[in-house]
Amino acid sequence: MTRRQSIYVDGFGHKNPVPAACRLGNIVTSGIIYGLDPATGRPAPTLDEQCALMFAHIRAVMAAAGGSTDDIVKLTIWMADRSQREAVNREWLAMFPDPARRPARQAMAAELDGGKLVQCDILAVLPA
């Protein structure tokens, strides 16, 4: 029996041969999740749209892994312009409205390619 399970999500994927996430036991970690527009296969044109799509993809990845966003323990975000965190914060607060139940978060500046303005990865621990 294989302990490691690759997680794939319809409408969101990588060009390289890697899954959206991997589950090993009750631990889930993602690859890069970004604001891919499923209709075009490209990043959405604005930061607000990319953030909305990125957080929607987070929900889809967690559901495909057998969990929910309640299981996320850390979200790492890379941004082309960290001063624009308000777009991220709107989606963050919608996903995690209770300040007593938010995961850890780290935001870093990065040089992103292909029209990406923001991307993230997640670490989650599912209930045993």
pLDDT, position 1: 47
* pLDDT of res. 2: 65
pLDDT per residue as tens digits for the range 34-51: 999 999 989 999 999 999
The domain ranges of the chain are 4-125
Q: CATH number for the 4-125 domain, one of 3.40.190.10, 1.25.40.10, 3.30.1330.40, 3.30.43.10?
A: 3.30.1330.40
Give the CB-side neighbour count of residue 126, counting CA atoms within 13 A.
17
The tokens of 9 are what? Answer: 């999500």
Contacts of 60 (CB under 8 A, 6+ apart): 9, 11, 12
Better-predicted residue by pLDDT, 114 or 13? 114
pLDDT of amino acid 128: 81
Q: What is the pLDDT of residues 53-75, one digit of tens each?
A: 999 999 999 999 999 999 999 99
For the stretch 100-119, pLDDT in tens is 999 999 999 999 999 999 99
Task: Tell me the average pLDDT of the chain.
Answer: 95
